[in-house]
A and B are shown apart, each in its own frame.
Chain A
Amino acid sequence: MTFLQDPEFGDRIITLMAALVLVLQIAAVGQRWLVSSIRIFAVQSFLLAAIAGIIAYFNHASHIYIAALLTLVLKAGLLPWLLERLVRRIQIRREIEPLINAPLSILIAGCLTLVGYVVAQSFYHPEETSVRAALGHNTLAVAIALFLIGFFTMLNRRKALTQVLGLLSLENGLFLAAISLTYGMPLVVELGIFFDVLVAVMILGILVFRIREAFDSMDVSKLRKLRE
């Protein structure tokens, strides 16, 4: 089991899992069911936690373990549970209604991934020929793509709840970028971000509930009128 000590193996696995996260993200863009989108987000977060865990293992950085554990508990466990409960309470399992139809959205997501790769290219220094530099750059490209696709999802969806999901995947992209570039931010920063996201989702959840109470719909485009 010598390859378990080989940092190159770790980097390969990280890049592979990052690619899997990207695959899930593009699949989520084409996804029509709210509950499936939430579950895809949960799996994505689980993979991110695993990536963080692997980075911690290969770089012997114990504080990243805490970040990995937090990701696992909060983003792969608590947030999907909260969102699914919200879906159950509002009793919508209906299909998501995107502004742009699914094939075109997937095409756009593909183009955004390319943009991510091109942007990540400018961070790449050819004089650093080591494998690690190339792989870190690959993960960065995936992270930027995640960020952009999350943004696109937020723009593309009408329902408030699906916009929350876009925000969450955007945040996943940020987390991946941070952890793959710096091999872990200071723990205080990580904790701050986690609680930020948690509180944001809780507030947005309540907001979604209220929007629905007041307008009988989660369609945010109906919020244009302030007075009736």
Chain B
Amino acid sequence: MIGLIAKAGLQLVLVLLVAPLLSGIMKTMKARLQTRRGPNVLQSYQDILKLLRKGMVIPETASWIFSVTPYVVFVTAALVGLMIPMTATDAPLSLFGGVLAVVYLLALGRFFLALGGLDAGSSFGGLGSSREMTISAIAEPAMMLAIFTVALAASSTNLSEMAKVAVSQSWKFLAPSQMLAFAALFIVLIAETGRIPVDNPATHLELTMIHEAMILEYSGPYLALIEYGASIKQLVLMTLVVNTFFPFGLSSDWTLRGLTLGLVFYLIKMLLLACLIVMVETTNAKLRLFRVPELLMVSFIFGALALISTFLF
């Protein structure tokens, strides 16, 4: 029991520390690629601290949902962070079917975010919520298909089991269906974290904004919680992609040596994935909103093909 709490505490600290750092690194990398100086890597921490100290403005029309939303978003994201193998193969928590719980806890956060956007009563919030739901309605099945492909290969939906099987097979885990699933999940990752071909994370001045439109009415500590939650969600999804498809270096136990090595490997892998995402963001223009379903359609087809091709062999 104490061991479990220690593991959970360690991983929680890791998640909370790394998530804003990763957002900061990605912002700086993107700025450098566009030959700007860009913000400090630690800027995300400072933003959160600053927002926590600020006062709040709550719309008159808002009900209790508006105030509950930031907590739900943050808590679901942090909970999911505990359920994903980061540096060791066994995650501290595993609830109701592992990966299914991960996907639907994230969906719960998104649902409340959409409600919060509607609740504020501004027209932008409603726009953002409806767009977010449209996109997630296609992104979610694609994500499930891709994840089921990996789960089938490991014959378990438990993320720790999946990571263990992947680690024990080393490079033999690389199969064409995994490639297709990776492509599907990468597109879903970009859509879910609101990155450029789908949404622009850097601005809330565009009429086509999605995530920023939903949280337009939030300010102060609530905004800090939502932003923190969003960066944890990004970290979690990236970890999911990295550790299910490239499990190299995951430590099989919670010893100090294994964890340090695992952490180093984990950070390197995350940096590589961040580079890939930043490259995609810099080389692509934002898609028109009604083109986004086409992109997600591609991801859905990849997911479906990945799943079917595992059955054909």
B176 near A18 with CB under 8 A, answer yes
Q: Is A177 part of the contact surface with B, judged by Cβ < 8 Å?
A: no
Given contacts A12-B171, A103-B293, A117-B312, contact A23 B179 (CB under 8 A): yes
Given known A-B contacts A12-B171, A16-B174, A138-B313, A106 and B298 have beta carbons under 8 A apart: yes
- Of B99-107, B255-263, B299-307, which binds chain A? B299-307
As a 0/1 sequence over residues 25 to 44 of chain A, the CB contacts with chain B under 8 angstroms (1 = contact) are 01100100000000000000
Q: Which residue of B lies closest to A12 (CB)?
A: B174
C-alpha gap A22/B174 in the complex (Å): 15
* Any A CB within 8 A of the CB of B294: yes
> A153 CA to B205 CA in the complex, in Å?
39
Quick check: is A19 within 8 A (CB to CB) of the other chain?
Answer: yes
Q: Is B289 an interface residue (CB 8 A)?
A: no
Q: How large is the interface on B (under 10, 10 to 19, 20 to 34, 35 or more residues)?
A: 20 to 34
Nearest opposing residue in chain B for A145, CB measure: B305
Contact (Cβ within 8 A) A103 B297: yes
For B180, the chain A residues whose CB sits under 8 A away are 19, 22-23
- Name the one of A12, A107, A141 contacting B172, with C-beta atoms under 8 angstroms: A12
Residue count of chain A within 8 Å CB distance of chain B:
29
Q: Is B16 an interface residue (CB 8 A)?
A: no
Chain B residues positioned under 8 Å from A114 (CB to CB): 305, 308
Does residue B134 face the partner (Cβ distance < 8 Å to A)?
Answer: no
Q: Is B127 an interface residue (CB 8 A)?
A: no
Q: Is A134 an interface residue (CB 8 A)?
A: yes
A110 pairs with B301, CB closer than 8 A: yes
Asked whether, in the complex, the Cβ of B305 is within 8 Å of the Cβ of A113, the reply is yes
Report if B155 contacts A (CB, 8 A): no
The CA-CA distance from A134 to B294 in the complex, in Å, is 33
| Cβ–Cβ < 8 Å partners of B298 in chain A | 26-27, 30, 106
Q: How far is the CA of A184 from the CA of B304 in the complex (A)?
A: 32
Q: CA–CA, A27 to B298, complex, Å?
A: 7
B301 near A107: Cβ-Cβ < 8 Å: yes
A-B contact count (CB 8 A): 63
In Å, the complex CA distance between A102 and B135 comes to: 17
Within 8 A of A (CB), among B19-41: none
Distance in angstroms between the alpha carbons of A13 and B172 in the assembled complex: 10
A71 interface residue per 8 A CB criterion? no
- A123 touches B (CB below 8 Å): no
One of B174, B175, B297, B309 near A117 (C-beta < 8 A): B309
B242 interface residue, CB < 8 Å from A?
no
Residues of chain A within 8 A of B304, CB atoms compared: 110
A12-B171 Cα distance, complex, nearest whole Å: 8
**Chain A contacts of B305 at CB under 8 A?**
26, 110, 113-114
> Which A residues are CB-close (under 8 A) to B295?
30
Neighbour of B294 across the interface among A3, A16, A23, A103, CB < 8 A: A103
Q: Looking at the complex, which one of A20, A107, A110 makes contact with B179 (CB distance below 8 Å)?
A: A20
B294 close to A15 (CB less than 8 A) = no
Closest residue to B173 on the A side, CB-wise?
Answer: A12
**Does B79 make an interface contact (CB < 8 A)?**
no
Contact B308 A102 (CB under 8 A): no
Which residues on A are within 8 Å of B, measured CB to CB? 3, 8-9, 12-13, 15-16, 18-20, 22-23, 26-27, 30, 102-103, 106-107, 109-110, 113-114, 117, 121, 134, 138, 141-142
**Given A16-B174, A19-B180, A30-B297, 16 additional A-B pairs, CB 8 A:** A12-B175, A13-B174, A15-B175, A16-B176, A18-B176, A19-B179, A23-B180, A26-B305, A30-B295, A102-B294, A103-B293, A103-B294, A107-B301, A110-B301, A117-B309, A117-B312
Pairs A–B under 8 Å by Cβ, sample size 5: A3-B171, A15-B175, A16-B174, A22-B176, A103-B293
B interface residues with partner A (beta carbon < 8 Å): 171-172, 174-180, 183, 293-295, 297-298, 301-302, 304-305, 308-309, 312-313
Q: Which 7 A-B pairs have the closest CB atoms?
A: A19-B176, A19-B179, A110-B301, A103-B297, A23-B183, A102-B294, A117-B312
